[in-house]
Structure 1
Amino acid sequence: MSILQHLGVTIPIVQAPMAGVSTPSLAAAVSNAGGLGSIGIGASGVTDARAMINAVRVQTSRAFNVNLFVHVPPKSDSESEARWLEALEPVFRRYDAAPPASLRTIYTSFADDDAVLTMLLETGPPVVSFHFGVPPADRIAALKAAGCVLLATATSLAEARRIEIAGIDMVVAQGWEAGGHRGVFDPDGPDDGLTTLALTRLLVKRMGIPVIAAGGIMDGAGVRAALSLGAAAVQLGTAFIACPESSADEAYRAALAGDGAEHTVMTSAISGRPARCIANLFTAWDRSTSIRPPDYPIAYDAGKALNTAAKARQEGGFGAQWAGQGAPLHRVMPAAALTQVLWQEASETG
């Protein structure tokens, strides 16, 4: 019996834990349909994170996943941060606003967050996953002792090997096509940009732990293709953005349905880390500047402030509208129905 089957997951489809988009209702709907629903708590404080986990449990008795950021703590540089704010100042002014006087580290890495670890040990979610790296060995051991199945994202064979050595149960193979933040451990290091197909097959052949394929998969044919490469499951994020249970705002949903979704781009301007986004006003501004953004998540403090200022003037083109290259294939339907349709299509194309 596979790890996911042992958890009671009957459909090998994982809904990606998109922080700011995935909700307890979305995760529960996917889990109730037989897949593995997910929530992202990396952008939430410990109180909100606990509430989200409890909210999922109210809506489902099945397994679900809780995702955490394990980024290297940023290096604050007041001079580079001032240059970044100066570059953004004309854009803020366009919406009758001013950039923040200074920038903050708005998210704490799980590697340093004792309060979140304590909360997880108390709540014991069935699955815990990591993005941007793996936490220290003592945290991994504590979560496993609490009965949590652990997943972590890799964009290369080297990262996957570190995941396996760390004792993680399953690896998510994130291809270049994937929406949202690249899971690279070192955003300043080389990135071969391996596609989902190539990376999934490479990890299946070289790793001793199960592989979950992620990136650009939007329908049952894509699910079946990934499974035929040896993946134990597939992870889809962009496919679920248009579901009514997601918290994507109207501007995000409109962008997903617009021409920009056909031209997703990788950008570091919004958050300070490379992430695939629908082409919008923020990505267009990024192409016009050569200034390097501050480290993640310091740059995200400015990005969020700009989005807030623009939205106050009815402009939604500065949001973190993460989406993968398969975005034009999205469908608008409830999450449970989409999960079931995906698996029906995958079975029919086998």
Structure 2
Amino acid sequence: MGVPGDLSLDLPILQAPMAGVSTPAMAAAVNAGGGLGAIAIGASDTAAAARMLAETRERTDRPFNVNLFVHAPPMPDPAREAAWCDALRPAFARFDAKPPAALRAIYPSFAQDDAMLALLVEAKPAVVSFHFDLPDGPRIAALKQAGCRLLASVTSLAEAQAAERAGIDVLVAQGYEAGGHRGVFDPDAADDRLGTLALARLLVMRTRLPVIAAGGIMDGAGVSAVLALGVVAAQLGTAFIACPESAADASYRAALMGEGAAHTVMTRAISGRPARCLANRFTALDETLTAAVPDYPIAYDAGKALNAVAKARGEDGYGAQWAGQGAPLARAMPAAALVRTIAGEMRG
């Protein structure tokens, strides 16, 4: 398929990592179907990451992708965080609850996580991918020395060129259609919001690296369309959320398979970074908030707390129900069967 490292893929199909949704079972099933499965350890500590790596290896003997978050370390701002909690107080009060007394960064960035780096150097996964930015040179060198092939999500030509200079092996061109967190390196900078087709073709023409297209791709026709642009593969995320191997809860699945799938919005309110989500009570709340959102992932501490108290009272509309614009095309079937179905659609 053109991805360096001879990953022995039967099909040019990658499953997006999707922290909180992907599982070792999903990665193994995608591998069994002929694609490249993935797990996400960016929101995990090293112990949980080690368990996920071990379980995935028990389930599949084929390569899989291990994804990390490389966000800028957040800047604590107690006054800003207190104002954010005050802005959310009426939403908490609906469930007879109060916002957290203080907010914290709920997980570190790989940019500073030496323990996670040591784990990966020892584990030597075939593929390691980065979201939100790039690690520094020594971390990239250590992973490459361990034999890992490195992928990075990029949303612009400038980010792609930075990845190329840093020694990344393959670019993941994340279009604005994509579900979940936007991969922009700087969430406060101007975003040209390039769509998948425009971005993928631009990177194919203007960089020397293999390109994987991501965002809004849900079936074989979509995969074939991006392959015609010169990319080496397509990465699909939302397409796999309804699979039984997914960790998505029942309310998330119901929302994805319902009429609401036709309405996704980009929001920072849930986590502190732009992310595409199914329209729900949290995204509606975002439209009324005027307080400045704390840095990612500090804001996520409040978002997760609000979702927890709401769910305890039977309200499922405050979750991070990430989904791309192709959500109405989601299909509920086992992940391996979905990969094979997509392959059949590509052959047409």
- Name the TM-score, length of structure 1 as normaliser: 0.98
Rounded to whole Å, the distance in 2 between the matches of 1:149 and 1:142 is: 11
The CA deviation at 1:4 is 5.6
Contact 2:170 2:211 in 1 (8 A): yes
Deviations 1:124-179 (A, max 9, x none): 11100000000010010110111101000000000000001000000000000000
Rounded to whole Å, the distance in 1 between the matches of 2:165 and 2:24 is: 31
Query: Alignment length, in residue pairs?
Result: 348
The CA deviation at 1:257 is 1.5
The CA deviation at 1:5 is 7.3
One-letter amino acid of the counterpart of residue 277, structure 1 = C
Deviations 1:217-236 (A, max 9, x none): 00110000000000100000
* Runs of 4+ in structure 1 over 4 Å off: none
One-letter amino acid of the counterpart of residue 181, structure 2 = H
One-letter amino acid of the counterpart of residue 221, structure 2 = A
Match of 1:291 in 2: 291
Gap regions ≥5 residues in structure 1: none
Match of 1:230 in 2: 230
Contact 2:3 2:232 in 1 (8 A): no
Rounded to whole Å, the distance in 2 between the matches of 1:310 and 1:37 is: 33
Match of 2:185 in 1: 185
The CA deviation at 1:3 is 2.5
One-letter amino acid of the counterpart of residue 209, structure 1 = L
One-letter amino acid of the counterpart of residue 169, structure 1 = D
Rounded to whole Å, the distance in 2 between the matches of 1:96 and 1:68 is: 36
Q: Percent identity?
A: 66
Counting only pairs closer than 5 Å after superposition, residues 154-303 of structure 1 correspond to structure 2 as: 154-303=154-303
The CA deviation at 1:290 is 2.2
RMSD: 0.9
In structure 2, the CA distance between the partners of 1:338 and 1:5, relative to structure 1 (3 Å rule), is farther
Rounded to whole Å, the distance in 1 between the matches of 2:117 and 2:237 is: 25
Contact 1:4 1:12 in 2 (8 A): no
Match of 1:318 in 2: 318
Rounded to whole Å, the distance in 2 between the matches of 1:231 and 1:80 is: 43
Contact 1:244 1:333 in 2 (8 A): yes
One-letter amino acid of the counterpart of residue 185, structure 1 = F
- Name the TM-score, length of structure 2 as normaliser: 0.99
Counting only pairs closer than 5 Å after superposition, residues 1-350 of structure 1 correspond to structure 2 as: 2-3=2-3, 6-348=6-348
One-letter amino acid of the counterpart of residue 227, structure 1 = L
Gap regions ≥5 residues in structure 2: none
Contact 2:5 2:149 in 1 (8 A): no
Contact 1:170 1:212 in 2 (8 A): yes
